[in-house]
């Protein structure tokens, strides 16, 4: 028996494809280490030492200083191909809405042999910007204050192992020591506690030294900053050295505070080129506002591919073929003893975007293969055609024993779908609800079939240090109570309408693991009364 009518609508089979859509949206979770800093008892010692609670953020990023300032950067990199030295200026500004703007100013000759220089500088600047958003993510429990005999104090702390996002997670290996003298922080030294991986390679030794001063406005700024990092880059020893000098600070009340007139004049040379660095993402809307408050968000855009295998059991409630009434057919076939086992495999590609930090939308395309084994129960025929005398048939006697017989089906579909996910979180807990509408078209057909709706409510927990989530929930598959279509058996064409019954809900359990700053892998298992399924998803976010 084979399907031949391209307009056939097997809704009960197509419904199984809806589960191929997998959404495990990272929750918008408030990080525990950044909440209610002003009320944290651990910071009483910092206040007693007259240390602003935001000051440790300067160890993460220069951008925690004033709203408008200019820096001069000298970068030296020693690697396999020798030593490269570049110089450039970073011009930072902030508009009235708190949005930051960053321009790179450089001498064109410095790009002569370095085509990727601007990209490297932009990457460093973007890292500084992201780190600034997590400036308060240090571990409160690690704070230690030691009073020195000369009246100074040594303040040390570590950065949080949990709150930093994946692409900045290397800072969880950092330790900070501040020197406080006469009520002022004079210096901060940041070193690594163990080797860590970075975009440049493996960093074995890291040391950052910041000398600080206080402006007439009362604000702490960086007087001088040096970075030294040694490690292995692409199998060879490498070393990075950076020196950052302030050129000028600008304040609405105090005006311009010039720190190095010669560098300011050099930067003002009209022959110096300028390049803008895009710091704020368009999507999700209000995302950068939340990041500046220390709330970790997923990257705005994503692509993923998923494979899903599902087995579903269907019971039959009625039969109708050739337009005949169910009552006539049920004289020969018992729908209550007929059922189908449907196995589906789906391959999908999905693209998605976060419109708001808690709202994701996506679209998908894919292929669906369906193998169904229908086991029908025939009641049998024991009929005399002619005259019956007593128990004897005086004519032709037709006898067909009762029994079960199998009808195998193989179907192939294209699929299109769209959906949305709403998510919310608090600290390590999150919840999400995903809804998907999917349409299918049988291979070779011209028309698309009806729509199938799927819903996935989930609750989960985030293991931030491991960059992983686990979750449980349920999955609803909405499909029609009837399957309709046309089949051909030898030279006979048969229209059919068959009633089906199956449980729409099934439970789910799964995990999501960030492999690095862009890739993640997700697995999910569904277990229900009438269906089981397993899904594997590989995603890329940017």
130, containing H or E segment: helix 117-133
Q: How far apart are the C-alpha atoms of 490 and 524, rounded to whole Å?
A: 42
Closest by CA to 63, choosing from 368, 402, 291, is 291
| Mean pLDDT calculated for residue range 227-248 | 94
Residues in a beta bridge with 507: 474, 527
pLDDT at 489 over 60: no
Residue 141 neighbours by CB distance under 10 Å: 11
- Categorise residue 19: left if φ over 0, alpha if ψ from -120 to 50, beta otherwise: alpha
DSSP string, 31-57: -GGGS-GGG-GGGHHHHHTT--TTGGG
Q: Which pLDDT band holds residue 317 (cuts at 50, 70, 90)?
A: confident
Closest by CA to 72, choosing from 224, 206, 219, 207, is 224
Q: Name the 3-class secondary structure at 93.
A: strand
| Mean pLDDT calculated for residue range 376-390 | 70
Q: Name the 3-class secondary structure at 40.
A: coil
Domain boundaries, the chain: 2-27+299-376+408-541, 32-291
Contact status, residue 210 vs residue 71, Cβ threshold 8 Å:
no
Of all residues in the chain, the percent with pLDDT exceeding 70 is: 72
Lowest mean pLDDT among 148-162, 231-245, 426-440: 148-162
Lowest mean pLDDT among 322-331, 370-379, 439-448: 322-331
What digits encode the pLDDT tens for the residues 79-128? 988 898 888 999 988 877 777 788 889 887 765 555 566 677 777 776 77
Closest by CA to 364, choosing from 22, 124, 135, 25, is 22
What digits encode the pLDDT tens for the residues 171-216? 777 889 999 988 889 999 999 988 988 777 899 999 999 999 988 8
Tokens read off for 327:
């009552």
Contact status, residue 42 vs residue 439, Cβ threshold 8 Å:
no
Is the pTM of the predicted complex or chain greater than 0.75? no
Contact status, residue 137 vs residue 33, Cβ threshold 8 Å:
yes
Confidence at residue 6, expressed as pLDDT on a 0 to 100 scale? 34
Contact status, residue 187 vs residue 178, Cβ threshold 8 Å:
yes
Residue 334 neighbours by CB distance under 10 Å: 16
Q: How far apart are the C-alpha atoms of 239 and 204, rounded to whole Å?
A: 10
Q: Name the 3-class secondary structure at 128.
A: helix
Confidence at residue 346, expressed as pLDDT on a 0 to 100 scale? 96
Residues in a beta bridge with 212: 222
For residue 284, cis peptide bond before it (omega within 30 degrees of 0): yes
Closest by CA to 532, choosing from 309, 375, 380, 249, is 309
Mean pLDDT in the chain?
A: 79
- Categorise residue 440: left if φ over 0, alpha if ψ from -120 to 50, beta otherwise: beta
Tokens read off for 261:
């007139």
Residue written as token pair 């059919």: 496
Of all residues in the chain, the percent with pLDDT exceeding 90 is: 35
2-27+299-376+408-541 belongs to CATH 2.40.128: yes
What digits encode the pLDDT tens for the residues 327-359? 656 666 666 777 789 899 999 999 999 999 999
Q: How far apart are the C-alpha atoms of 284 and 359, rounded to whole Å?
A: 9
Which of residues 107 and 293 earns the better pLDDT score?
107
Q: Which pLDDT band holds residue 8 (cuts at 50, 70, 90)?
A: very low
């Amino acid at each position: 028996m084979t399907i031949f009518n391209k307009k056939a609508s097997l809704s009960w089979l197509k419904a199984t494809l809806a589960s191929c859509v997998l959404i495990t949206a990272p929750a918008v979770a408030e990080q525990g280490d950044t909440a209610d800093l002003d009320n944290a008892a651990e910071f009483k010692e910092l206040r007693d030492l007259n240390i602003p609670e935001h000051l440790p953020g300067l160890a993460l990023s220069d951008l925690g200083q004033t709203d408008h300032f200019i820096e001069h950067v000298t970068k030296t990199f020693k690697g396999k191909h020798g030593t490269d030295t570049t110089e450039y200026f970073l011009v930072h500004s902030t508009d009235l809405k708190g949005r930051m703007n960053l321009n790179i100013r450089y001498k064109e000759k410095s790009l002569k042999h370095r085509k990727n220089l601007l990209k490297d500088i932009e990457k460093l600047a973007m890292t500084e910007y992201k780190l600034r958003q997590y400036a308060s993510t240090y571990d409160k429990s690690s704070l230690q204050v030691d009073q020195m005999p000369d009246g100074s104090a040594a303040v040390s702390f570590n950065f949080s192992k949990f709150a930093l996002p994946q692409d900045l997670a290397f800072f969880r290996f950092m330790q900070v020591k501040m020197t406080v003298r006469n009520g002022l922080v004079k210096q901060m030294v940041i070193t690594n506690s163990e080797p860590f991986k970075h975009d440049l390679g493996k960093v074995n030794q890291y040391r950052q030294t910041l000398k600080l001063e206080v402006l007439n406005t009362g604000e702490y700024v960086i007087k001088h900053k040096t970075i030294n990092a040694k490690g292995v880059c692409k199998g060879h020893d490498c070393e990075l050295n950076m020196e950052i000098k302030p050129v000028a600070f600008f304040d609405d009340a105090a005006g311009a505070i010039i720190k190095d007139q010669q560098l300011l004049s050099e930067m003002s040379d009209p022959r110096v080129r300028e390049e803008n660095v895009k710091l704020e993402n368009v999507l999700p809307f209000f995302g950068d506002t939340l990041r500046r408050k220390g709330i970790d968000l997923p990257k705005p855009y994503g692509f993923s591919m998923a494979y899903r295998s599902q087995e579903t059991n269907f019971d039959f409630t009625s039969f109708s073929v050739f337009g005949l009434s169910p009552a006539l057919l049920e004289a020969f076939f018992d729908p209550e003893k007929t059922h189908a086992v449907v196995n589906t495999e789906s391959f999908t590609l999905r693209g998605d975007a976060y419109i708001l930090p808690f709202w994701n939308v996506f679209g998908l395309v894919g292929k669906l293969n369906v193998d169904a084994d229908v086991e029908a129960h025939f009641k049998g025929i024991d009929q005399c055609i002619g005259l019956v005398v007593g128990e004897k048939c005086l004519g032709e006697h037709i006898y067909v024993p009762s029994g079960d017989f199998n009808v195998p089906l193989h179907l192939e579909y294209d699929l299109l779908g769209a959906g949305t996910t709403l998510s919310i979180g608090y600290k390590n807990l999150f919840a999400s609800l995903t809804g998907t509408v999917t349409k299918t078209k049988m291979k070779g057909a011209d028309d698309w079939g009806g729509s199938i709706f799927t819903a996935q409510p989930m609750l989960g927990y985030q293991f931030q240090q491991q960059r992983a989530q686990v979750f449980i929930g349920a999955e609803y598959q909405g499909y029609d109570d009837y399957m309709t279509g046309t089949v051909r058996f030898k030279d006979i064409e048969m229209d059919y309408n068959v009633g089906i019954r199956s449980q729409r809900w099934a439970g789910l359990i799964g995990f999501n693991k960030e492999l690095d700053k862009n890739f993640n892998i997700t697995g999910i298992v569904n277990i229900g009364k009438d269906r089981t399924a397993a899904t594997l998803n590989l995603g890329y976010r940017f």
